[in-house]
Structure 1
């Protein structure tokens, strides 16, 4: 694109930022291959308009979802470009006016510039999600680790944090299984987040999280450090060819339970699957029937087996690269006493707004994690 002329009243720093915004958007559009994306959207639009589309429900759902996501990306990119052009025009109008009118237009332009900077930055992060499975829905498992009842409580806090994050963005979630601890909190929980690029986005949360606080469960009011682990895997699709031999499974059925061990069903409908060759155990108790729970548990097991295969491949590549990095390392610290601080130990992203973070405001940490991962892969 040809350089845009910025009006004389725009100071050097503002003109520089406008040029930087244009360069960032150029980079985003190049990474997206905007012309190619337009062709894909046009082709998908023709396919989803076919009268026999829903004869094959699974294919129809995949096509319509793909069309919706790609069309949304295209509209977002075009909207950002339009806003950037309008912003330059707004500064030109402010330059042509005088007095209070000029000041008012300049203030409006400055506000839009700040908003546009945040939106382009967020969209730029999205273009970094180009891994094999990044577009998929995510299966998230949170487990209490060291720290006793505080760890179980912390695991439940993390689960709520992710569910609140999804809720704020309007992403549907489904809790497949929750294992409650005896005194408070959870031993573990697995839930699905359905959204474009949910796996690519949330996969940077994988690892060990640490909480430091005055324990509400210690009658002497002592400071307690506890840990919880987060695992994120992509939802398996029919094309993934993850074969599970029934002979390799142990199937246990039991009665669903709630907090404190309270039974919530009068029938043994909950299902626990143990994959004997790997020792992976998954459970599901959210459906009404045993067959439905088993089908859902098989989906979760397939996702974990797929991730295990990918982890083994990644470990081999890392060993060849002599890489010392590990997804299982401690990655974030939440300190509630003696000061308030949440800090990501990989990216150095931090905030003193601990309450907001635990209420699901984690986008800054997710964006920083995605950028960090891309830099690490390129190193």
Structure 2
């Protein structure tokens, strides 16, 4: 590519990054980081562990986001200098490296630009993700656990803290259901496009005849509520059940009735929590989840789009939004956006950014068309 063309691309990328910085409101972000750092420095921070985790988690996520933007800006300035020196000295290797870096920057900035498409009412919130095994027996339970691992690995790649609220283990292998929070700004807006039914096709490791099995799992994503959100739940509308935690044990786990299940009687919404050691802590965490789900239900009903926010899907044939085919060929394909890849292992290891970005752009196009 000619030097002039590369210069033009660098200028275009710079303009796009400036637009992104304006939308993200970097001064406001830096001010919040400074405030959170002050809170982290307080000697009594960990007197309230839940608040301490929220503060440190948000600080970590905001710092990572700020660093991501500043690194892109620095790389743009560096590649401009590299291109200028390469052109002056006629250094073909420097020019080739500059072109390669411009291409890498274009991909990175394009990914960051997707963030500016998140303008929904709750898009900037943290996310509560629930995964339920569907049709397919033990393979579906195993698939639910594979999806949990996929989203946790995705979070780890982005340095987003994850807090697991509840895990219900299946009898033979895998999970019946799991609920966890991803503590990062815009986690809800980003992951909301993952809500729906996911379908897995593979040779079942649980079938002694080695037959191919199709199984399903449902993913639900709702926003984490803040104290300013007005969701009041009368005590007489909630049934509280306590039971003994299941799964891997630990001190006081599996030995006391510390796990809590809440049922919202008017809607039938059921949530549970067993990650804490005390019944009181589990009840408080379960109430957070219940309020988040009721808010999602309320907003969905107002817009007559229950499936869109609550992810109320059946996890069976005819309802899937993404296929994971491991046999007879390797392919992961999103049925809404048509985006696909043959690198199935990378996807299951958490490399799902391309699917998420395609989903966000598809959702925006659907909204614009409507």
Task: State the partner residue of 1:84.
Answer: 76
Q: CA RMSD in A?
A: 3.3
The ranges of structure 1 where at least 4 consecutive aligned residues each deviate by more than 4 angstroms after the TM superposition are 39-50, 53-79, 326-329
Q: Which string of whole-angstrom CA distances, capped at 9 and with x for unpartnered residues, describes residues 274-294 of structure 1?
A: 100000011111111111111
Which residue of 245, 252, 255 maps to 2:244? 255
Q: Work out the CA distance in 2 between the residues paired with 1:17 and 1:270.
A: 56
Which residue of 135, 139, 144 maps to 1:150? 139
Q: Which string of whole-angstrom CA distances, capped at 9 and with x for unpartnered residues, describes residues 82-104 of structure 1?
A: 43344233212111103xxx023
1:367 matched to 2:357 = yes
Say whether the 8 Å CA contact 1:142–1:189 is kept in structure 2.
yes
Gaps of 5+ in 2: 314-318
Q: Judging changes above 3 Å, is the alpha-carbon distance between structure 1 residues 73 and 290 closer, same or farther for their aligned structure 2 residues?
A: closer
Q: Work out the CA distance in 2 between the residues paired with 1:264 and 1:67.
A: 31
Which residue of 266, 276, 284 maps to 1:287? 276
Greater mean alpha carbon deviation, residues 302-311 or residues 17-26: 17-26
**Tell me, what secondary structure is at the counterpart of 1:364?**
helix
Aligned residues: 356
Which residue of 214, 225, 239 maps to 1:225? 214
Task: State the partner residue of 1:3.
Answer: none
1:377 matched to 2:370 = no
Task: State the partner residue of 2:120.
Answer: 131
Task: State the partner residue of 1:5.
Answer: none
1:96 matched to 2:88 = yes
Gaps of 5+ in 1: 1-7
Say whether the 8 Å CA contact 1:38–1:74 is kept in structure 2.
no
Larger Rg: 1
**Structure 1 residues 228-307: aligned runs within 5 Å:** 228-258=217-247, 264-307=253-296
Say whether the 8 Å CA contact 1:139–1:233 is kept in structure 2.
yes
Task: State the partner residue of 1:347.
Answer: 337
Deviation of the 1:46 alpha carbon: 7.9
Task: State the partner residue of 2:20.
Answer: 28
Q: Work out the CA distance in 1 between the residues paired with 2:297 and 2:115.
A: 25
Q: Judging changes above 3 Å, is the alpha-carbon distance between structure 1 residues 73 and 186 closer, same or farther for their aligned structure 2 residues?
A: closer
**Structure 1 residues 28-107: aligned runs within 5 Å:** 28-29=20-21, 31-32=23-24, 37-38=26-27, 41=30, 76-77=68-69, 79-98=71-90, 102-107=91-96
Q: Work out the CA distance in 2 between the residues paired with 1:173 and 1:68.
A: 12
Task: State the partner residue of 1:10.
Answer: 3
